[in-house]
Structure 1
Amino acid sequence: MDYLPLFFKLTQQNVLLVGGGNVALRKARLLCRAGATVTVISHQVCDELQNLLDAHAGISIVGEYHASLLEGKALVIAATDDNSLNERIHYDAVQHNIPINVVDNPALCTFVFPAIVDRSPVVIGISSGGSAPVLARLLRARLETWIPKSYGNLASIASSFREQVKKRFQSVNQRRVFWESVLQGQIAEKIFSGRTEEASKLLQEKLDRSDPEHSAGEVYLIGGGPGDPELLTFKALRLMQQADVVLYDALVSADVLDLCRRDADLIFVGKKRDNHAVPQEGINDLLVRHAQQGKRVVRLKGGDPFIFGRGGEELETLKAHNIPFQVVPGITAASACSTYAGIPLTHRHYAQSVRFVTGQLKNRTSDLNFEELVHPNQTVVFYMGLHTLPQLSSKLIEHGKPGDTPAAIVSRGTSSDQKVLTGTLATLPGLQEKAKLEAPALIIVGEVVTLHDNLSWFGDEVLAQNLIPETASKT
């Protein structure tokens, strides 16, 4: 470790900043945010820096640097392009035992500025010791997206209750358990949702119960997307990593499931054609039972939970048992798979509307309104229709859809073994008999399918043409 990470309290502390340009301005902004009183010495001070100093009771001096300026200073920053001057400032600061930072010159620094993620009062610093500042900034950018800004509010409410918690729980371990349940549970989620007053009330109620082991359970209904873990939302990932129990479907990919909290109990409740591991009523009962035990339960579904996912039925059960829940939407398969196949669902030259339809027919018959599905200038996407493709195709043609309408099957969309089979409404069932693409798969019907050859971008097209004959292709 080249540098020990430390946080300076600079409120009303005097800091010397040598330099008056844009680099000095960036450092001055940080110093002023930390509450420091900044003195700038330079031959010329840019207007924006001068305005900043005026707004924060800072001082600007036009002239030459001299060692006497170090008197009474807590920190020194040299932001000049004069190497000899920077070396002199470094020497003087070391002689006075004052921490010194020379911008872009780690050899002359006794401290460095980290890349900062500011969620005040929570502040995170990332440093490469000056060896790779761009990498530190890239890491900061990642953390900025992973850590909601509302974490600052969470820290503030925790601070306001700190003394009460300390009085209520005598042991450090009791306090630790209590705060873990607060900072990762329902109270935190209310803060993240902007319901600060509700969170404060709930925290007070929890504290009054004086039972750090007790916590109200909650269910997170999460859309896991089509399979590619990078398509998860940030909120989905955060809640998945808090789960005590995860109930997951067959359509949830292994890569997505692997992002759940490592020590969570994983329960498979998936349904496949003619094989339901757990009936829907059993899933509902599991959600209720685990939540009533005070656990954080993730109900993880492929795609989006409100699009042919029966998420609404599960929430009705939770509501009937007064169990709190949240819903995190996911990228539905129609959107993701068509995108990865290079098939826009809408296009001003081909389709001005799109319909999502379940192709899972009861008793191999259908009560779909096919007259609505054969309208021109629209795209129809069938979920769960691979095994009823011949019936769907014949019914659409019977109700007036031209047999030469372009159509496609996207199998295992967004995954590394995604395959796309293209043809027409009349030929697609026969092509599928040869290709035998596997579920999960979507059927897309409409003129937009013709764009696949030109817009396909995901995968090895040349290899695909060798794998699947005739009009089939793999992306």
Structure 2
Amino acid sequence: MRYFPLFHDLRNASCLVVGGTAAAARKVRLLQRTEARIHVVAPELGEELAEMAGTGNVQWHARRFRAKDLDGVSLVIAASGDDRVDGRVSRLARARRLPVNLVDRPAQSSFIVPGMVDRDPVTIAIASGGSAPVLVRQLRERIETLLPARLGDLARFADRFRPAVKAMIPGEDGRRRFWTRFFRGSVAEAVLQGNDRSAAEGMLTLVNSAPESWGNPQGSVALVGSGPGDPDLLTFRAMRLMQEADVVIHDRLVSDGILDCVRRDAERIPVGKAKGAHSMSQEEINRLLVQQARAGKQVVRLKGGDPFIFGRGGEEQAYLQAHGIMVQVVPGITAATGCAAAAGIPLTHRDIASAVTFATGYSADGLPDLDWQALAAARQTLVIYMGLSNGEEIARRLMDKGLSAKTPIAVVEKGSLPDQRVLGSHLADLGDLLQRESVQGPAVLMIGSVTASARKLAPAEATLALAV
């Protein structure tokens, strides 16, 4: 290992940046996150550095570099863009054994500036020794998606309670077990959600609990929406919870690509439902969630789309709360918006549709009892979930209430996935379209003038079949 990673305390230290270039501005921007006193030496400044100069901890010296600029300096960065100037800065700094960095020239630098993920006071640094900066950037971007935005708040919260934990819990082993439980438990999750009051109350209970109770912690449940199926559409929080879960209880409509994002050693329990084939009843699922949480597990209840839009998330949340289980809800991109975007269909449009309505096309007794008169209203988009088996009847009822038989429709099958299909037609043809194209779920029915946009805006990878 050529480079030894370390973190430099720059409180009240003088840092010298030579140059007024855009590269110099990037380094100054990084240094501004610290408590250092930053001196910029350059005859002229670029636009970004000019805005920084004279504000906060940045002072500009409008002249060329001089050897005495190194007096009293703790760290040096050369980014003038002139090889001769930067080389001279490097030689003089090395002679004084000062850490020096020449931007994009690791061979002339005594240290390199890593890619950083900043969750102050938690900082993650990534470096490749200057050999693959693009790879470093990609790694940083990936780590950013996995770390919660309030991770720094969690570290500060834990630091606040360190004296109390040390006083109440004897021995390093005991304290290590305590902190292990804390960072994986519901108190830490409350901090990450910004619920400081609940977290503080829970922490006091945790600190004052008997050590023997730490071995059987209370778990929690997260109702997580996985979106329409494309893993790239997962939220940061969904991805983090899936990586931290002990148990993932998932629906049939959750795609294989989404499940690939789950922590590899997590237990996976499928509880999928399909028409006429329920592997587990809703009551059984509710009991399973409580059972797993009471066993101390961090449980993710993974649902297609959004948990609160035809996902029975409200029923599960109420059941868990009634049984004293901590529960959080992580919204997902619902099928309507995800499939519409993938097919290039704007659900609302200033000139065409001023409202959008989501409805279900299936119930245990057949077609649900909906307000068909309201659903047939003009200047709106109607999105029907679970409507494949009742497509012909849905079209008939809408036409009976006055919606034109020529109203454009679109059926989006497996929206956002590689084998997505977008089928366009008109309302009177809906039932026949579903039958002759052998449409399989998951699919949504979209009814309204905006669906005509699919014909010209659908992505190239989607199959657009116009059955007009």
Q: What TM-score does the superposition give when structure 2 sets the normalisation length?
A: 0.89
Q: Does 1:65 align with 2:61?
A: no
Equivalent position of 1:226 in the other structure: 228
Equivalent position of 1:93 in the other structure: 93
Equivalent position of 2:192 in the other structure: 192
Aligned residues: 463
Q: Does 1:269 align with 2:271?
A: yes
Range with bigger deviation, 105-114 or 86-95: 86-95
Is the CA contact (8 Å cut-off) linking 1:20 and 1:49 kept in structure 2? no
2: CA distance between counterparts of 1:115 and 1:265? 34
Q: Tell me by how many angstroms 1:170 deviates.
A: 5.2
AA of the residue aligned to 1:471:
A
Flag structure 1 segments of 5+ consecutive residues without an equivalent.
none
Residues 248-296 of structure 1, C-alpha deviations (whole Å, 9 max, x = no match): 1111111112212222221111111011111111111111111122221
1: CA distance between counterparts of 2:374 and 2:50? 65
Check 1:265–1:109 CA distance in 2 against 1; reply closer, same or farther (3 A cut): same
SS in 2 for 1:219: strand
The alignment yields a C-alpha RMSD, in angstroms, of: 2.8
1:180-329 equivalences in 2 (<5 Å)? 180-209=180-209, 210=211, 211-329=213-331
Is the CA contact (8 Å cut-off) linking 2:420 and 2:462 kept in structure 1? no
Q: Does 1:471 align with 2:467?
A: yes
Check 1:370–1:71 CA distance in 2 against 1; reply closer, same or farther (3 A cut): closer
1: CA distance between counterparts of 2:274 and 2:154? 42
Q: Does 1:119 align with 2:119?
A: yes
Check 1:134–1:241 CA distance in 2 against 1; reply closer, same or farther (3 A cut): closer
2: CA distance between counterparts of 1:28 and 1:422? 54
2: CA distance between counterparts of 1:18 and 1:348? 53
Is the CA contact (8 Å cut-off) linking 1:16 and 1:70 kept in structure 2? yes
Q: Does 1:108 align with 2:111?
A: no
Check 1:442–1:38 CA distance in 2 against 1; reply closer, same or farther (3 A cut): closer
Is the CA contact (8 Å cut-off) linking 1:419 and 1:437 kept in structure 2? no
Range with bigger deviation, 98-107 or 26-35: 26-35
Check 1:36–1:444 CA distance in 2 against 1; reply closer, same or farther (3 A cut): closer
2: CA distance between counterparts of 1:57 and 1:381? 55
Range with bigger deviation, 188-197 or 361-370: 361-370
Range with bigger deviation, 441-450 or 56-65: 56-65
1:18-97 equivalences in 2 (<5 Å)? 18-19=18-19, 23-31=23-31, 33-38=33-38, 41=41, 50-52=53-55, 55-56=56-57, 60=61, 65-66=66-67, 70=70, 72-97=72-97
SS in 2 for 1:282: helix
Check 1:423–1:121 CA distance in 2 against 1; reply closer, same or farther (3 A cut): same
Is the CA contact (8 Å cut-off) linking 1:78 and 1:89 kept in structure 2? yes
The partner residue of 1:457 within 456, 459, 463 is: 459
Range with bigger deviation, 35-44 or 302-311: 35-44
Is the CA contact (8 Å cut-off) linking 2:286 and 2:319 kept in structure 1? yes
The partner residue of 2:436 within 424, 434, 437 is: 434
Equivalent position of 1:448 in the other structure: 450
Is the CA contact (8 Å cut-off) linking 1:42 and 1:65 kept in structure 2? no
Q: Tell me by how many angstroms 1:22 deviates.
A: 5.6
AA of the residue aligned to 1:390:
E
Q: Tell me by how many angstroms 1:350 deviates.
A: 2.6
1: CA distance between counterparts of 2:418 and 2:44? 58
SS in 1 for 2:428: coil
1: CA distance between counterparts of 2:346 and 2:73? 62
Check 1:345–1:70 CA distance in 2 against 1; reply closer, same or farther (3 A cut): closer
AA of the residue aligned to 1:87:
G
AA of the residue aligned to 1:157:
F
The partner residue of 1:330 within 329, 332, 337 is: 332
Check 1:212–1:427 CA distance in 2 against 1; reply closer, same or farther (3 A cut): same
1: CA distance between counterparts of 2:40 and 2:434? 74
Q: Tell me by how many angstroms 1:160 deviates.
A: 2.5
Identity %: 43
Check 1:142–1:262 CA distance in 2 against 1; reply closer, same or farther (3 A cut): closer
Q: What TM-score does the superposition give when structure 1 sets the normalisation length?
A: 0.88
2: CA distance between counterparts of 1:88 and 1:431? 75
1:399-410 equivalences in 2 (<5 Å)? 399-410=401-412
Equivalent position of 1:374 in the other structure: 376
Equivalent position of 2:414 in the other structure: 412
Is the CA contact (8 Å cut-off) linking 1:174 and 1:212 kept in structure 2? no
Range with bigger deviation, 316-325 or 122-131: 122-131
Q: Tell me by how many angstroms 1:325 deviates.
A: 0.8
